[in-house]
Amino acid sequence: MLETPRLILRPFEESDAEAAHVWFSDPEIFRFYTYGPYRSVEETAARIHEYCRQFEKTGFGKWIVIDKTTGIPIGDAGLMLEEETGEVHVGYKIARSCWGRGFATEAVQEWVRQGFEERDLGRIAALIHPENAASIRVVQKLKFSFCTHRREAGIDWNVYELTRDARWAPRPPSEK
């Protein structure tokens, strides 16, 4: 489990499917993807099962994001390993009712910290649809830089990256 000032990040459990279906079923959240929204809780459960399987296999995966104040799940975020290339991506989805409150930035910042400080990664990428201005702002706030374009799954993605160099300022030991 990971914690930020306002969030709890923990591995998905099978029992999270119904709560997660709130954002997995929202067409607005999936407007930049070739998959989703999910039509049933069962489809959401299958996706969560895939996240859990990947985490068990690779040590990377998406976790559920919970609002500490309410205890309500509000999204998912995490690091994903692209097994063919060895590239690590950060990904995130936040329920529309929570947009604009900085939750995505806070969750991604914790995963970036985790990747660099705990997993000793040298680079973290983010694949973002070029029209997804909100997601682009999230990674730019965290000092990711545009790297290249990549066509994948029928979409031309913008690839942003953050490397473990002078731009990443880990938290002082007193704040860990």
Mean per-residue pLDDT, 146-154: 90
Could you report the per-residue pLDDT of 102-120, keeping only the tens digit for each?
A: 999 999 999 999 999 999 9
Mean per-residue pLDDT, 61-89: 95
Which tokens go with 105? 């930035």
Q: Which of 106, 124, 128, 104 lies closest to 115, judged by CA?
A: 124
Q: CA 78 → CA 30, 39, 40, 87, 166, distances in Å?
A: 17, 23, 23, 14, 23
Quote the pLDDT of residue 174.
46
What's the CATH fold of domain 2-175? Aminopeptidase (3.40.630)
Q: What's the pTM?
A: 0.91
pLDDT, the chain, mean: 92
Quote the pLDDT of residue 168.
55
Domain positions in the chain are: 2-175
Mean per-residue pLDDT, 54-67: 94
Q: Which of 88, 92, 55 lies closest to 76, judged by CA?
A: 92
- Residue 144's φ and ψ, nearest 5 degrees, are -70, 150
Q: pLDDT at residue 1 above 70?
A: yes
Quote the pLDDT of residue 34.
82
Residue at token pair 């002078």: 166
